[in-house]
Amino acid sequence: MEKVSPLLQKAEKLRRKYRLYHRIYTYLILLFIIGMISLPLIISFNNIGFNRWMKDFMPYENLGLVQPAMILYWFLFFVMMTASHRFKNKFKQAEREILKIALDDIAPEFKLDSHKQIHPQQIAESKLLPSFTPVKRNKKLPSLHNLNFGVLWGKVSNSSILMGDVNIINQGIYNSYLMFIPLLPHLLVTYNLVRPLLSKHRSTEYFGSHFVGMFAVVDFPKKFKGHTVILPDTLEKRVGYLAQTLQSLNLTRGQLVKMEDPEFEKHFVVYGTDQIEARYLLSPSLMQRIIRFYQKINKPILLSFHKNKLYMGVRHAHGFLSLDKKKNLTETDVFGILYEDITTAVGIVEDLNLNGNIWNTEASVASN
């Protein structure tokens, strides 16, 4: 990998400049949002008190400073935004050069296309993201939008696997009746912008995104009539037994399926259109494989089985097939991290043993 060293040094310089401008740009956005939300609320709930505070804080003769301050703010905002996008594009170009060389060495059996993307229809069919009843239906427009590009495809044994970098924007909630609830749109925007600051699985680079990371589609050796969805059980960890009541209200993904494995129930929640089919699919051995896979990668994973496909999402704060912009590229094991990302995707097939007829084996054992 000596031929990549000059490219890494070049990318590291671009990364530092991008991170500086992006950090300032992020704080300016947050400052604007906080002001836009807090000011109307203060005026609405305490109009007299607000006027008194403004009079003491800023006398009438100093009001002329407001306009220059606003001009300075917007000047800095657009300068930082332009510089951030400029160095991000340069960094992405250097990143693609590094990935192309590295993948030829790490995964020569896979093909990379940095100009293609996972189709939004495949993401919607997986039912891994929530959907909402729209105010006006338009079947021609997708409810999900993938903003990232880059796919890797190949074969593991007899199973074809397509994995890609996704940055998913779910437009369903913004077109739903929920937006008519007072203050909800403002709170939703604030939540989507602030959440990356409080989570290690999200990055401020992807403000407003519902899911960022790897999305994979794998050929499944058995065809099913309905669908089964496995999601991280965050509610169980927070509210205990109350979680089952709340989870049973999730009607968009089917019925809540109660599994008999306590360890699996601790980490995951299962929904399905057919209770019997879901339990048949999620055999004890398969549930153990999913648990081991989750413990190995230590990242939120989402799984769904539909028709003859397995869909899987793995959250990556900095994206899939991407270099971590928070770490020094010349001091960290860049290729080790990249190799881990690739083996994580390939491990879907190997760890879950999709090429083995484990369900027929389980069934024959049960019948005996």
pLDDT digit string, tens, across residues 222-267: 677 788 999 887 644 443 443 343 343 444 567 888 888 889 988 8
367 versus 141: the higher-pLDDT residue is 141
Q: How much is the mean pLDDT over the chain? A: 76
| Cα Rg of the chain, angstroms | 24
What pLDDT score was predicted for residue 336?
77
Tell me how far apart the alpha carbons of residues 50 and 58 are, in angstroms, rounded to a whole number. Answer: 12
The residues, any chain, with a CB within 8 Å of residue 262's CB and separated by 6 or more, are: none
pLDDT in tens, 139-167: 666 667 888 888 988 887 777 889 899 98
Query: What is the distance between the alpha carbons of residues 279 and 263, in angstroms, rounded to a whole number?
Result: 15
Query: Is the model's pLDDT at 323 over the cut of 50?
Result: yes
Give the per-residue pLDDT at 171: 63
Q: Which range has the top average pLDDT, 71-80, 103-112, 211-220, 285-294? A: 71-80
Model pLDDT for residues 49-99, shown as the tens digit of each residue: 666 666 665 565 555 666 788 889 899 999 999 999 999 999 988 888 888
The secondary element (H helix, E strand) that includes residue 313 is strand 309-315
Q: Rounded to whole angstroms, how far apart are CA atoms 362 and 359?
A: 5
Residues 6+ apart with CB under 8 A from 260: 284
pLDDT for 13: 92
Tell which residue, 312, 324, 337, has the closest CA to residue 106. 337
Considering only 13-22, 238-247, 285-294, which range has the smallest mean pLDDT? Answer: 238-247
pTM, rounded to two decimals = 0.74
Residue 297 has pLDDT above 50, yes or no: yes
In sequence order, what are the residues at sequence separation of 6 or more whose Cβ sits closer than 8 angstroms to the Cβ of residue 229? 127, 128, 253, 254, 270, 271, 272, 302, 303, 304
